[in-house]
Amino acid sequence: MFEMLQITPQQLREWISAEKDFLLIDIREDWEHEAFNIGGMHIPMDDIPAHLTDIPTNKDVVMYCEKGIRSTITIQRLEQAGYHNIYNLNGGMKAWKGLK
C-alpha cells in the first residue's frame, strides 16, 4: 500500500513559478472549471477512466478538485491501476484561494 502523495497550495505555486515539468489536471465539473481554475488539463472525475492514456506515468501529475475529496478518491482508483506519480492538491481550490 502506497501513501498518497500530497502537495500544498504553496508548494504547487512554487512548482508553477519554477516551471517544473508536471501535468496539472482539474477533475471538477465543467461549470466549476469555467467559474474558476488554475489551468492545466480539464478531465471531469467521471471521465478519467476514458482518458487514462492522457495521464502520464513517467512524470509528476497534480490533480485538484474543490476541497480535495474527489481528487483523493480519483487518485486512490488510479493507484489501484498502477499510477504512483499523482499528487493530491491538499485542500483543493478552496485552499488555493485562501493563499495570500
Could you give the residue numbers annotated as active site?
A: 65
> Quick one: cell of 57?
506515468
Which residue type sits at 31? W
Whole-number Cα distances in Å, 21 to 7, 59, 61: 15, 8, 9
DSSP bridge partners of 6: 88
